[in-house]
Amino acid sequence: MSDTVDATNTPGEKSGPVLAADGTPLKRSLRRALRRQKMSALLLIAPLLIFILITFIAPIADMLFRSVENEIVQDTLPRTTAILETWDSESGSIPDAPVFKALYQDIFIAQERKLHTRLGSRLNYELTGASSLFRKSGRGVGDIGEVYQDQFEDMNAFWKKGENWNDILGSDAWLAEIKSWKKSSGQAQPPFELRADIAEILPETAAFYKIFADFTQNEKNSNLYKKDPWELIYSSFYDDLTGANAARIDTYTGPGAAELSEAKTAAASFETVDYKVAFGDIDKDWVKMPIWDTIRAYSPRFTNGYFLNAVDMQKSEDGPELRPENQRIYYTLFMRTLFMSSVITISCILLGYPVGWILANLPARTANLLMILVLLPFWTSLLVRTSAWKVMLQQQGVVNDTLVWLGIVADDSRLALINNQTGTIIAMTHILLPFMILPLYSVMQTIPPSYLRAAKSLGATNWTAFWRVYFPQSVPGIGAGSILVFILSIGYYITPEIVGGTTGTFISNRIAYHISSSLNWGLAAALGAILLAVVLGLYYAYDKIVGIDNVKLGG
Amino acid sequence: MKFTTTLLATSALIGAGTFAFADAHGNMANEMTLVSWGGAYQASQDKAYLQPYLENNPGVTGVWDESSNEAVAKLRAMNEAGNITWDLVDVVAADAIRLCDEGLAMEIDADEMLADAPDGTPASEDFGDLLVSDCFIPQIVYSTTFGYRTDMVGDTPPTKICDVFDLEAYPGKRALEKRPINNMEWALLCDGVAKDEVYDVLATPEGQEKALAKLDTIKDNVIWWSAGADTPQLLADGEVVMGSTYNGRLFSVIEEQKQPVAMLWDAQVFDLDGWIIPAGLPADRLARVKDFVKFATDTQRLADQSQYISYGPARLSSAPMVGKHADLGIDMAPHMPTDPKNATNTFLYNYEFWADYRDDIDAKFQAWLAQ
């Protein structure tokens, strides 16, 4: 806009810019006025814009984001995945002891927080058996730590009591506060604080105790001071007592110093746990390669695994590869969805075009009456309409009965019209027909009948008049109807589920399955994203070939 | 039992939950939203559990939501949104296990939260092995089994599960569920695999191939169903000669609608249905739901439900109390899947196996279907 102003004003004005009444250059003043107009227009549509963003764009973006999001592995097994990075998966041997120790710590914390089974379900999408592996391991990790717990407690009952642990690990200020705190007071529990220097004397114990304290106080809402520690605390305590920093323990002078030094001496002769063996005892799958390959392959925060799965591929050591033939399904379903949607669209054109023509050429009163018949199906439940087709099309149904009665088909070779592609195409053509008729009708209504008469008076045959004069003018209606019907049918899943059998189902049926039944929302999102991309691609192609300006929903 | 050890392992965690319960015991919400499957089954729950409870507790209201078939997805969405609108959800055991794994269902302590049997047997023993998940409160035992048209099978009605695979003796279409569970087991059984080896075989790729190959022999004659009401309808219309579905649905076709259909109990697969409490309920609603659950799963109430529908009560102590159908006046015991006459050859849904293999075998099954 401003360019045109510019262009019309510059010629002949060589003495300087044109000025507005208030002395500013006209160009700038105009631009300002325009900007103000644009701003107020934007403000007017802002509520709608924000509404669309929040209720439409954001949820879709969030859902599609799940197709690459994979934080659960790293969040649930932070220590394990960190150490696994240095593991050479090509070596063909399972990871070393430190990884198993990290796994023990991770799974212990995860099972307390009830997160391990969730990770198991996630990994089960990639590796059969991961689900029960994690469920079992969650039950088994307690026994591993118990080996140490029992030994410490047998040595001195001092280590049984949560109070004693708190006295050693908590800061004096915090201890004073927690001892006077009562749950019934309604006040928040004073948050746990580590004793100064204890993190250097007992580093692992302190680190895990902090996690335990945070969990007890904030998630379980129990009184930490009275709470006996996890088995995990005992095993890390043992590690500290026998570890490289053990010498520092003698420098400790706070509460329980005597017991601590006694424990240090005793720990040297304790029975130890081989974490690798212990996990092997829980389930032999832990000492085999597949689970480790899977954990490693899915440790990054983002994954292309869902997308690979959605195009019938899988991760392997040598990069992505096609799945075995008996597991490939999505490519077939995508192709079938596109093919059947095209067939449905074409059937709708063939059936809808004459109806639109009749409606457009009848007197308005009759046309309105017929219009109600077109719209009538909209007022009936989709499920009812689909189920009605079952009654019509099944082998003992109305259509077959009639054909048998007329003698067209034999009683023992009734037609299979439902639970296959034919059923889906018939039912969906019927359901989507109004979406074709309405745009066709509104476009045809605007074509003056005099054009046809003129063509005929100039000597055209009926066919030429229709094909050369009428049809080209109705193409925008066909375009609009086709886009509507095609895009709607690509996303349909109720009708194919009910009448489609095995050969008439769409990709959306699998998406629905993964959303509501297998809970594999990542894969569902990946399939949805691909479907969205295909639709946008087809739309783009349509725009290039036919031109989107050539689409009209009405006159 | 495996179950008891799990309980022990988790009882410490539940302890924390219970005193929140005690805190709020005097302060119970007055509204409950119960989720179930709709239809005759939900009606039986309404008559046997909810109405008597509301009578005892004036001022309380209960609302039904027929969303059980999509409960897993909806509960996850509610959980992510941080707004749980359901108080008690009826799901099949496999879904309960999944919800428990996902942290979407609350863990329960059967002995503390459920009523003892009238003779004082603790709830955990009365329910016994049926407590298949830490979050699951069983209500009924149902079975997936076959029904056949008595007028379409000639003089020799089918008696064995393998008759389903015998197209020569019983020509015509069969209705099978559009999922691998149960179908794969039946296929292997009829392919000569011994009953106690079925899951070992099914765990191997070769075994899965074998099962699909067996199903392949009847594939062209199968109508695949996905809603429980499909098979009864297909049988009533004469579209199929036999078909699998839940035994309660067949009961209503046979006894209530008087269709020429009979039961083929051979190799019926037992499964469980029951309640879960969504995780993360506010204290007052949780207190109300716990109060309701304790009432609704006691021995008498579970036995009452069998007056309305032919599903077996999940408590051992309820079994002797099963009586007559409330409207038809017929004895319900012979129609129960657990009746000794019907249960000569049964299968128990293998929850652990299917939790592990479901994703894998389902992919193969669907690929096979799509071929």
What residues in B contact A518, CB-CB < 8 Å? 358-359, 362
Q: At the fourth CATH level, which superfamily is domain B144-269+357-370?
A: Periplasmic binding protein-like II (3.40.190.10)
Which chain B residue lies closest to A497 (C-alpha atoms)? B226
C-alpha dihedral, A89 to A92 to A97 to A102, nearest 10°? 30
Q: Do A130 and B355 touch (CB under 8 A)?
A: no
**Is the separation of the CB atoms in A427 and A389 below 8 Å?**
yes
B101 touches A: beta carbon within 8 Å = yes
B209 touches A: beta carbon within 8 Å = yes
Q: Which two tokens stand for residue A196?
A: 């100064």
Instruction: Provide the percentage of residues in chain A whose pLDDT is more than 70.
Output: 97
What is the band of A15 on the pLDDT scale with cuts at 50, 70, 90? low
Q: Do B359 and A118 touch (CB under 8 A)?
A: no
Chain A nearest-CA distance from B207, in A, is 13
Distance in angstroms (rounded) separating the CA atoms of residues B244 and B347: 14
Q: Which two tokens stand for residue A144?
A: 């591993």
Nearest to A128 among B13, B352, B359 (CB): B359
Mean pLDDT along residues B4-20 = 41
Per-residue pLDDT tens digits for A412-433: 889 999 999 999 999 999 999 9
Looking at the predicted structure, is the pLDDT value of residue A14 above 60?
no
**Is the separation of the CB atoms in A439 and A552 below 8 Å?**
yes
* Torsions phi, psi for B25 (to 5 deg): -60, -35
CA angle A478, A483, A484 (to 5 degrees): 100
Which chain A residue lies closest to B6 (C-alpha atoms)? A139
Residue owning tokens 């022990």: B8
Which chain A residue lies closest to B8 (C-alpha atoms)? A139
Q: Which residue has the higher pLDDT, A253 or B211?
A: B211
* Total residue count of chain B as it appears in this document: 371
Q: Do A501 and B355 touch (CB under 8 A)?
A: no
Distance in angstroms (rounded) separating the CA atoms of residues A82 and A92: 19
Distance in angstroms (rounded) separating the CA atoms of residues A232 and A121: 24
Q: Which two tokens stand for residue A385?
A: 């309409």
A450 touches B: beta carbon within 8 Å = no
Q: Which two tokens stand for residue A422?
A: 């034919």
The burial of A57, by beta-carbon neighbours within 10 Å (0-12 exposed, 13-18 middle, 19 or more buried), is given as: exposed
Q: Do A117 and B367 touch (CB under 8 A)?
A: no
Q: Do A114 and B368 touch (CB under 8 A)?
A: no
Per-residue pLDDT tens digits for B101-132: 888 999 999 999 999 999 999 999 999 999 99
Region of poorest pLDDT, from A150-154, A219-223, A243-247, A547-551 = A547-551
B368 touches A: beta carbon within 8 Å = yes
Per-residue pLDDT tens digits for A183-229: 788 788 899 999 988 888 999 999 999 999 999 998 888 889 989 99
Distance in angstroms (rounded) separating the CA atoms of residues B162 and B192: 10
A74 touches B: beta carbon within 8 Å = no
Strand B61-65 to strand B31-35: parallel, antiparallel, or no bridges (unpaired)?
Answer: parallel
- Protein fold of A333-550: MetI-like fold (1.10.3720)
The pLDDT of residue A399: 93
- Per-domain residue ranges of chain B: 2-141+272-335, 144-269+357-370
Mean per-residue pLDDT over chain B, rounded: 89
Strand partners, B313: B140
The pLDDT of residue B84: 95
Strand partners, B7: none
- The dihedral built from the CA positions of residue A242, A246, A249 and A255, taken in this order, carries a sign that is negative
A8 touches B: beta carbon within 8 Å = no
Mean per-residue pLDDT over chain A, rounded: 90
The pLDDT of residue B283: 92
B155 contacts: CB under 8 Å, gap ≥ 6: none
Q: Which two tokens stand for residue A56?
A: 């439409």
Strand partners, B140: B273, B313
Strand partners, B61: B31
What residues in A contact B368, CB-CB < 8 Å? 326
Distance in angstroms (rounded) separating the CA atoms of residues B295 and A541: 63
What is the band of A554 on the pLDDT scale with cuts at 50, 70, 90? low
Per-residue pLDDT tens digits for B283-319: 999 999 999 999 999 999 999 999 999 999 999 999 8
**Is the separation of the CB atoms in A515 and A523 below 8 Å?**
no
Looking at the predicted structure, is the pLDDT value of residue B17 above 50?
no
Angle between helices B351-370 and B205-216 (to 10 degrees): 50
Query: Mutation test of the interface with chain A: which of B79, B101, B234, B354, choosing the one with the most A Cβ atoms within 10 A?
Result: B101
CA angle B34, B39, B44 (to 5 degrees): 65
Q: Do B360 and A395 touch (CB under 8 A)?
A: no
Spatial CA neighbour of A116 closest among A57, A157, A73: A73
CA angle B234, B236, B240 (to 5 degrees): 40
Q: How far is CA B138 from the centre of its chain?
A: 9
Residue spans of beta strands (DSSP E) within chain B: 31-35, 61-65, 88-92, 137-149, 174-177, 222-225, 242-246, 261-276, 312-313, 346-348
B66 contacts: CB under 8 Å, gap ≥ 6: B35, B36, B37, B38, B42
Looking at the predicted structure, is the pLDDT value of residue A156 above 60?
yes
Q: Do A519 and B358 touch (CB under 8 A)?
A: no
pTM: 0.86
- Protein fold of B2-141+272-335: D-Maltodextrin-Binding Protein; domain 2 (3.40.190)
Nearest to A118 among B103, B355, B357 (CB): B103
A101 touches B: beta carbon within 8 Å = no
Residue owning tokens 């990994």: A123
Q: Do B356 and A124 touch (CB under 8 A)?
A: yes
The gap between the terminal CA atoms of chain A, to the nearest Å, is: 28
Give, in order, the Cα–Cα distances in Å from A80 to each of A11, A87, A117, A295, A299. Answer: 74, 11, 16, 9, 10
Q: Which two tokens stand for residue A140?
A: 């088994």
Chain B nearest-CA distance from A393, in A, is 11
The pLDDT of residue A209: 95
Mean pLDDT along residues A286-302 = 93
**Is the separation of the CB atoms in A72 and A119 below 8 Å?**
yes
Q: Do A326 and B367 touch (CB under 8 A)?
A: yes
Residue B98, SS3 per DSSP: helix
Nearest to A124 among B6, B223, B359 (CB): B359
Q: Do B355 and A132 touch (CB under 8 A)?
A: yes
Strand partners, B274: B91, B138
Highest-scoring range by mean pLDDT, B2-11, B82-91, B227-236: B82-91
What residues in A contact B209, CB-CB < 8 Å? 326
Distance in angstroms (rounded) separating the CA atoms of residues B358 and B181: 8
Distance in angstroms (rounded) separating the CA atoms of residues A241 and A205: 10
Looking at the predicted structure, is the pLDDT value of residue B19 above 50?
no
Chain B nearest-CA distance from A141, in A, is 11
Which chain B residue lies closest to A122 (C-alpha atoms)? B102
Q: How far is CA B259 from the centre of its chain?
A: 24
Q: What letter represents residue B80's amino acid? A: E
The pLDDT of residue A7: 45
State whether ipTM is beyond 0.90: no
Strand partners, B92: B273
Secondary structure tally for chain B: helices H, strands E? 15, 10
Per-residue pLDDT tens digits for B334-358: 999 988 899 899 988 899 899 899 9
In SS3 terms, A189-244 reads as CCCCCECCCHHHHCHHHHHHHHHHHHHHHHHCCCCHHHCCCCHHHHHHHHHHHHCC
Spatial CA neighbour of B277 closest among B115, B34, B62: B34
Strand partners, B244: B146
Distance in angstroms (rounded) separating the CA atoms of residues B298 and B123: 9
Residue A401, SS3 per DSSP: helix
**Is the separation of the CB atoms in A147 and A238 below 8 Å?**
no
Mean pLDDT along residues A52-70 = 91
CB neighbours (10 Å) of residue A10? Answer: 12
Convert A160-193 to b/e letters by CB count within 10 Å (16 or more is b). eebebbbbbbbeeebbebbeeeeeeeeeebbebb
Q: Do B367 and A327 touch (CB under 8 A)?
A: yes
Q: Which residue has the higher pLDDT, A117 or A92?
A: A117
**Is the separation of the CB atoms in A98 and A201 below 8 Å?**
no
Mean pLDDT along residues B19-38 = 73
Tell me, yes or no, if the two domains B2-141+272-335 and B144-269+357-370 fold the same way: yes
The pLDDT of residue B6: 42
